[in-house]
Amino acid sequence: MGRVANRIAKGRFTLDGVEYKLAVNNGPNHLHGGKVGFNKVVWQGKALPEGKREGGVQLTYACKDGEEGYPGNITVTVTYSLTDDNEFRLDYGATTDKATPVNLSNHAYFNLAGSGDVHDHELWLAADHYTVADEGLIPTGEIASVKGTPLDFTKPTSIGARINQIKGVDPVGYDHNFVINGGGKSLILAARVTDLKSGRTMEVRTTEPGVQLYTANRIKHAALCLETQHYPDSINHPGFPSTVLRPGQTFKSTTIYAFSAK
């Protein structure tokens, strides 16, 4: 998902004194790169030489200045790797010729049981805080504690235990950005999901500062997503970790989904 995953309020932001208007595709807001985000374009792919413990493919896309309203020509690469350690690894990279926001993520849906809903999946998140959002799921700027709320997964808790207590999300379910403890600095463990019946477990490691938990609310919680990324609408919140990429800089990000079974 890109050029900017998640939401940008009213599809607008100001960068270096210039206001940019983006494609609006989620009510009044911009979502996951717009009407034609990175998930709807053709990427150039090449197989990578198979290493001792992994094989993969590298995808490249040249996004032109003005696409979906964004400034700058950017070149984006995403490398998908499968390892002998049962890991699915994603390495992202991007460069630009003009200052622009960049926030890349993956929206894969997971159901470790293979069918049914994910209510019995047990989730742990390395997140003591979350970004408070309004009814349009746009952050207010407040970062609040999860303690005493249905968003507290600091101890392993089933997805369905408190899902009906969620307010402000229609259809009901989780669609929240969590602030990863110590996130955004190095590759760390951010989440663990387990299906107790099958014994399957997925661990998520990432270099990103946040993770969006989405429980497939429009398809009756048939899966969940753990979208590692910067916070929603970061470009309009100076207090959030910056998503701005400038010429001469290289955007780099890594996320690993690791699978095991008892």
* pLDDT tens-digit readout, 140-170: 999 999 999 999 999 999 999 999 999 888 8
How far apart are the C-alpha atoms of 126 and 190, rounded to whole Å? 5
Task: Look at residue 49 in the predicted model and tell me its pLDDT.
Answer: 84
What pLDDT is stored for residue 170 in this prediction?
Answer: 85
Contact (Cβ atoms closer than 8 angstroms) between residue 226 and residue 90: no
What is the reported pLDDT for 53?
73
Q: Residue 17 has what pLDDT?
A: 97
Three-state DSSP class for residue 203: strand
pLDDT value of position 180: 98
Catalytic residue status for 208: no
d(CA 145, CA 127): 9
Let me know if 257 is exposed, middle or buried by CB neighbors in 10 A (0-12, 13-18, 19+): buried
Query: Is the bond preceding 49 in cis, omega lying within 30 degrees of 0?
Result: no
Cis before 192 (ω within 30): no
- Per-residue pLDDT, 50: 78
The first and second tokens of residue 143, run together, are 């970062």
Position 93: which residue type? G
CA pair distance 241, 232, nearest whole angstrom: 10
> 227 catalytic, yes or no?
yes
What CATH number is given for 7-261 in this structure?
2.70.98.10
Neighbours of 215 (CB within 10 A): 29
231 close to 208: Cβ distance less than 8 angstroms: no
Tokens of 131: 């970004």
Among candidate residues 129, 227, 230, 237, the one labeled active-site is 227
Hey, CA dihedral for 123, 128, 134, 140, is it positive or negative?
negative
Q: Report the alpha-carbon distance of residue 221 to residue 174 in Å, rounded.
A: 9
pTM for the whole thing? 0.95
Mean pLDDT by 10 residues, the chain (262 residues): 97 98 96 97 93 86 98 98 94 98 97 97 98 95 97 98 92 96 96 97 98 97 98 98 98 98 92
Tokens of 172: 């009901």
pLDDT for position 133: 96
Q: What is the pLDDT of residues 4-24, one digit of tens each?
A: 999 999 999 999 999 999 999
Tokens describing residue 234: 């970061």
Q: Give all strands (DSSP E) within 49-174, no chain letters.
A: 54-63, 74-83, 87-96, 100-101, 121-125, 129-133, 139-145, 157-158
